[in-house]
Amino acid sequence: MKEDSLLLQNQLCFPVYAASRLIIREYQPYLDELEITYPQYIALMVLWEKDGLTVNEMGERLILNTNTVTPLLKRMEKQELIERKRSKKDERRVIISLTTKGRDLQERALKIPEALSRRIMEGPFDREELNALKSSLDKLNGYLSGRNSPKE
């Protein structure tokens, strides 16, 4: 029956969406300690990996449009986690850099990934299954964002 294709239980998008929301809920107590949101956490992770990115580079790494990244970065600047400065070489480009406060959060955030992995492995997944799930999701996200070719 054609209508079966519209059943929520038959959708790929819903379990991915639900898992994302539930995983972020698991992060919340740790992020509350740091006084940041999940989007701020992933933006900080990008900058901890490579400081001094442009707004466009941040958007590419986070798979977010500039009109979504800019308000996020403005809030982070108000919290003194980052600085936004115009490039001296090209005034159109805005460079995002961590402040001391933003860099200091990295040390406090180090426990989060392992704590979340442990929490999930208390349930139905072992480390190998978690790694396989992440690999499959990376492959899907890469394909859908146009960064990877089919069957890569």
Question: Average pLDDT by consecutive 10-residue portion of the chain (152 residues)?
Answer: 85 95 96 97 98 95 93 97 91 93 97 94 93 95 80 55
Q: CA geometry: angle at 6 spanning 3 and 7, to 5°?
A: 100
Domains of the chain (ranges, CATH numbers): 35-101 (1.10.10.10), 110-152 (no CATH)
Q: Which amino acid is at 57?
A: E
How far apart are the C-alpha atoms of 84 and 94, rounded to whole Å? 6
In this predicted structure, what is the pLDDT of residue 87? 84
How far apart are the C-alpha atoms of 54 and 57, rounded to whole Å? 5
| DSSP summary character for residue 51 | S
In this predicted structure, what is the pLDDT of residue 70? 94
